[in-house]
Amino acid sequence: MAAHRCAFADDIFDRNCPSRSVKNANRKADPKTIHVVLPRALLALFPGATATVDLEASTVNGLIDELEGRWPGMGDRLRDTSPAIRRHINIFVGGQRASLRTPLNPGTTVHVLTAISGG
């Protein structure tokens, strides 16, 4: 019998896939920080960047500023000049799609995902 495979969104947001979710990963989170999960596609562009990082920020915009401070250029990959989250980037806070103004509470997990497009 094949092992149960979760849909990616169910897996990452801990919906019906408790064994593989980020929420259940063995990590010691600081309740005062924001836990950020970054996509592999972004990590490949920034040597030394890690798949997960804990930061202090009060909004998604502030979180992107913090990422930019750690890995110069990452902010430009996530946010355009209007400013808004780039078209092919999705940021989720608590399982809900976020904007730059979305507030962040300490202990929150933020997922940065790259959109898949094609035809």
Q: What is the CATH number of the domain that holds 59?
A: 3.10.20.30
Q: Is the residue at 1 inside a domain?
A: no
Let me know: does 70 contact 46? Beta carbons within 8 Å.
no
Number of domains in the chain: 1
Closest CA to 100 of 71, 70, 57: 57
Domain assignment present for residue 13? The answer is no
State residue 41's pLDDT score: 92
Give me 84's structure tokens. Answer: 């808004």
- Average pLDDT on 48-76 reads 97
SS3 8: helix
Cα distance between residue 106 and residue 96, in whole Å: 16
> What's the domain range around 64?
30-114
Please report whether residue 83 resides in a domain: yes
Give the model's confidence band at 116: pLDDT under 50 very low, under 70 low, under 90 confident, else very high: confident
Write the pLDDT tens digit of every residue in 22-33: 443 445 556 789
Alpha carbon 33 to its chain's center: 14
pLDDT of the residue at 32: 84
Q: Is residue 11 in a domain?
A: no
